[in-house]
Amino acid sequence: MKFGGTSVADAERLTRAARRIVARAEEGKGVVVVLSARGKETDRLIADAFEISENPDPREMDMLLSTGERISCALCAMAIRDLGHEAISLSGSQAGIVTDTVHTKARIVDVKAHRIQDALDQGKIVLVAGFQGVSTAKDVTTLGRGGSDTTAVALAAAVGAEVCEIYTDVPGVFSADPRIVPGAQKLDVVSFEEVLEMAASGAGVLQLRSVEYARNHGVTIHCRSSFDDSTGTYVVPEEDTMEQPMITAVSHSTGEARITLLGVPDSPGAAGRIATTLADANINVDMIIQNEPIADGEPADMSFTIPADDVRLAKESLEPLKTELNLRGIVADEEVGKVSVIGAGMRSHPGVAAKVFTVLGENAINIEMISTSTIRISVVIPKEQVPDAVRALHTAFELDGDDTILAEQPFSEKGA
Amino acid sequence: MKFGGTSVADAERLTRAARRIVARAEEGKGVVVVLSARGKETDRLIADAFEISENPDPREMDMLLSTGERISCALCAMAIRDLGHEAISLSGSQAGIVTDTVHTKARIVDVKAHRIQDALDQGKIVLVAGFQGVSTAKDVTTLGRGGSDTTAVALAAAVGAEVCEIYTDVPGVFSADPRIVPGAQKLDVVSFEEVLEMAASGAGVLQLRSVEYARNHGVTIHCRSSFDDSTGTYVVPEEDTMEQPMITAVSHSTGEARITLLGVPDSPGAAGRIATTLADANINVDMIIQNEPIADGEPADMSFTIPADDVRLAKESLEPLKTELNLRGIVADEEVGKVSVIGAGMRSHPGVAAKVFTVLGENAINIEMISTSTIRISVVIPKEQVPDAVRALHTAFELDGDDTILAEQPFSEKGA
């Protein structure tokens, strides 16, 4: 069972989480719980660090930030004991989560779960501080954004858990963002591959790395609400999904920008120089499009999308290439958005792309870039048309449900 | 170097402490620093715990409270790195501080300082989270009140430090509380034995356990101000004090109460029953006086002093003895205070007690109880007369200095 920061933000919520944990234990289950830092605790610690230093040392940042989850776990263990159950809190290190030495975004390299197993054998509920581990150099590390989900999945794999329940402030994974599409439906089952595509396309409910880890280690995730007992969304291997609707979800993102390089020479190596420059600056490039030159050997334009936060950095990094490659200019457009249609059933239904383009065309939405995977079609369109595009595609692919029920569901972005 | 909570309470103070640490390192010294939790951080965590549980589990309390000192150390390491020095923060566990398994008041059983030594050998400044360790059962423990001082002394002993500098918000150990005695003087040198008697008699500047540890392991303590560079007070073995004034200090305490049991039977075992009852309730008894019975076999009264906070508990615990021992009553008096005159020179000057009683008599102060050690004479008197008694004794034993200098010194209770 993993609870996010909002689920333990104050004494009342933390006690509610404790009651849920105890209820599960009283079903006769062995329970391992992973908790995030409370509410705004991590933000407070980060602010403290930047008050001291403009460029805090990563090792010390990890030492600092790892305290937040320990506080949550110690307090929750107290609450569980008051409910009459034995409980023990463990730091990431005590729980045996061994990582590499890359501070602030360490990767788990091993889970030595014997201490957890011993505590379970003694009938204790085990609370583990999420988002952290101990490096092979014996330093405290943190796993980066969404790290607590990864902790939960890794522990579920290590102890052979029946299910990894991720409790959050939304009722599950939706067919679209309910804030934009009133008829968006909670999905009962979704495949790892679909959720991965959704996470990569802007749907914030489950973190990419935790889903990858779950897929690689065969962990079933149940993503559900921390506010009620209703069933959420099960994330399972594709072969375990009972049916494969052609399209499962429509996701979107408005956090990207498009950079266009004008007049890129049609010579071997030019594209490589550009990609290397961006990689060296640690900028994640999503889609790339290179126009065909008018004639062989003529320069052409090249566009790519990057996180909007990296626009300034990208422009600075690419500036030297202007003279080196004799570019005509570098243009950034932040008024773009990305809409993606995702579904494992797409593999056996070749007409999906055509339908996407037709629906958008009928709604007078101009497609600026296109990229696809075997189970996803993404388009870049003007930012202000994103909500219309999502709604139109959601309806066209018959994903709309009864909106009167869903209008009552809370929905907000999930915390780390 | 050990800095208390007020010395790292905000970014400005923490940076000032970092500069002091760096200055010491730039003298070519190897530096190990012990820090307390920032300002009110520990109070905040305790409040969080009591919001969740009326009776928080001690193991979880330790997990919770140990985070405060880690935060201080991580932030201070960042500040030191910004000043151009290598620094590394370590938790109590990482620093090799091994304790017994008594949560919330663990005792250090071993210090495995190899990781500290390695870091020193690499030219790093080492920051260690005070007040905590790891138990022989691999759980996080805390050392109880004043624990960070004990951490500092234990590490000084383990690495063979030249001196253990305790930085605090007072300039050193004083001949009396300057808030009561304007002419109180900062002492340049004081013996372990004297400081132990002072700590036990209400002077708050150094913690009893840390001084005991320093005495047992031959660690020189330099207790000094974190606000300026002036020399503070050196705490050294008695044989190293250059001269032994008859009286070193007058200390006082108003945190005690007197309990009187009326009509205690003059039979073997009665006093034992009472002492055992109090010990079982974990109440620390300071002075005990049993009046002589009027005639052999007649009941007499028995009085003892205990911490004022324990009065209710003491009365409840002793209640059953009322019928068992046929007592006439149990009376508590919280309007008492204790004044102590301390000095290693007392051993060779037998007239001190007589002088104390004479001075108090001349000032119309009624002595209610007396207790002594070889270097201390303590009296219990009415609480409202404590300031007068301290001033009169301080003057009578010629401890008064020039009050114009000392009036400028800050003085307040030292934090944990």
A74: nearest CB among B55, B60, B94: B60
Between A291 and A260, where is the model more confident? Answer: A260
User: pLDDT tens digit string along B226-244?
Assistant: 888 999 999 998 877 766 6
Q: Indicate the SS3 state at residue A192.
A: helix
Interface test with A, best of B51, B64, B124 (most A CBs within 10 A): B64
Query: Would you say residue B55 lies in a domain?
Result: yes
The alpha-carbon gap from A100 to the nearest alpha carbon of chain B, in Å, equals: 18
Backbone angles phi and psi of A172, in degrees to 5: 155, -160
Backbone angles phi and psi of A84, in degrees to 5: 90, 15
Most confident of A405-409, B70-74, B405-409: B70-74
User: Which residues are CB-contacts of A398 (< 8 A; sequence separation ≥ 6)?
Assistant: none
Contact assignment for A64 to B81 by CB distance below 8 Å: no
pLDDT score, position B243:
65
Query: Where are any strands of DSSP class E within A172-299?
Result: 189-191, 221-225, 233-236, 249-253, 256-264, 288-290
Residue A86 forms contact with B (CB below 8 Å): no
pLDDT greater than 60 at residue B411? no
Average pLDDT, chain A: 90
Contact assignment for B64 to A74 by CB distance below 8 Å: yes
Give the CATH number for residue A210.
3.40.1160.10
Burial annotation A315-330 (CB, 10 A radius, 16+ → b, else e): eebbeebeeebebeee
Q: Which residues from B are below 8 Å from A49, CB to CB?
A: 74-75, 78
Query: Would you say residue B385 lies in a domain?
Result: no
Query: Would you say residue B376 lies in a domain?
Result: no
User: Are B33 and B21 a contacting pair, CB within 8 Å?
Assistant: yes
User: Are B381 and B360 a contacting pair, CB within 8 Å?
Assistant: yes
Query: Would you say residue B24 lies in a domain?
Result: yes
Q: Which residues from B are below 8 Å from A53, CB to CB?
A: 78-79, 81-82
Four-residue CA torsion sign, A398, A399, A401, A403: negative
Q: Which residues from A are below 8 Å from B125, CB to CB?
A: none
Contact assignment for A52 to B77 by CB distance below 8 Å: no
The alpha-carbon gap from B126 to the nearest alpha carbon of chain A, in Å, equals: 12
Contact assignment for B51 to A11 by CB distance below 8 Å: yes
Counted domains in chain A: 1
Query: Would you say residue A370 lies in a domain?
Result: no
**What average pLDDT does the segment A242-258 reach?**
86
Residue A27 forms contact with B (CB below 8 Å): no
A77: nearest CB among B55, B60, B89: B60
Domain span holding position A238: 2-242
Residue A84 forms contact with B (CB below 8 Å): no
pTM for this prediction: 0.82
pLDDT score, position B408:
39
Average pLDDT, chain B: 90
**What average pLDDT does the segment A98-113 reach?**
95
- Comparing C-alpha atoms, which of A110, A106, A83 is closest to residue A96? A110
Q: Which residues from B are below 8 Å from A85, CB to CB?
A: none
User: Are A222 and A234 a contacting pair, CB within 8 Å?
Assistant: yes
Q: Indicate the SS3 state at residue B125.
A: strand
Query: Would you say residue B111 lies in a domain?
Result: yes
pLDDT score, position A135:
96
pLDDT above 90 covers a percentage of chain A that reads 69
**Any idea what DSSP says for residue A296?**
T
User: Are B347 and B370 a contacting pair, CB within 8 Å?
Assistant: no
Query: Would you say residue B233 lies in a domain?
Result: yes
ipTM above 0.85, yes or no: no
Torsion of CA B269, B275, B280, B283, to 10 degrees: 170
Q: Would you tell me which residues 317-356 of chain A have a C-beta closer than 8 angstroms to some C-beta of chain B?
A: none
Residue A124 forms contact with B (CB below 8 Å): no
Four-residue CA torsion sign, A41, A44, A49, A52: negative
pLDDT score, position A407:
37
User: Are A62 and A100 a contacting pair, CB within 8 Å?
Assistant: no
Contact assignment for A57 to B79 by CB distance below 8 Å: no
CA distance A130 to A147: 7
Query: Where are any strands of DSSP class E within B310-407?
Result: 329-333, 336-342, 369-373, 376-382
Q: Which two tokens stand for residue B32?
A: 């190990």
The alpha-carbon gap from B223 to the nearest alpha carbon of chain A, in Å, equals: 27
A89: nearest CB among B55, B60, B91: B60
Residue written as tokens 């404790």?
A18
Q: Would you tell me which residues 235-294 of chain A have a C-beta closer than 8 angstroms to some C-beta of chain B?
A: none
pLDDT greater than 90 at residue B13? yes
| Degrees to nearest 5, angle at CA A59 with A55 and A63 | 110
Q: CA of A138: which chain B residue's CA is closest?
A: B94
- The single-letter code of the amino acid at A126 is V
- The single-letter code of the amino acid at B310 is D
SS3 content of chain B, % helix, strand, coil (to 5): 40, 25, 40
Query: Would you say residue A312 lies in a domain?
Result: no
Neighbours of B60 (CB within 10 A): 28
Q: CA of A51: which chain B residue's CA is closest?
A: B11
pLDDT greater than 70 at residue A403? no
The alpha-carbon gap from A78 to the nearest alpha carbon of chain B, in Å, equals: 6
**Any idea what DSSP says for residue B38?**
P
Residue written as tokens 């908790």?
A35
A353-359 contacts at long range (C-beta below 8 A, 24 or more positions apart): A353/A377, A355/A396, A355/A397, A356/A393, A359/A392, A359/A393, A359/A396
Q: Which two tokens stand for residue B181?
A: 């005695």
The string of DSSP codes covering B128-187 is EETTEEEETTS-EEE--TTHHHHHHHHHHHHHT-S-EEEEESSSS-BSS-TTT-TT--B-
Contact assignment for A57 to B77 by CB distance below 8 Å: yes
User: Are A416 and A147 a contacting pair, CB within 8 Å?
Assistant: yes
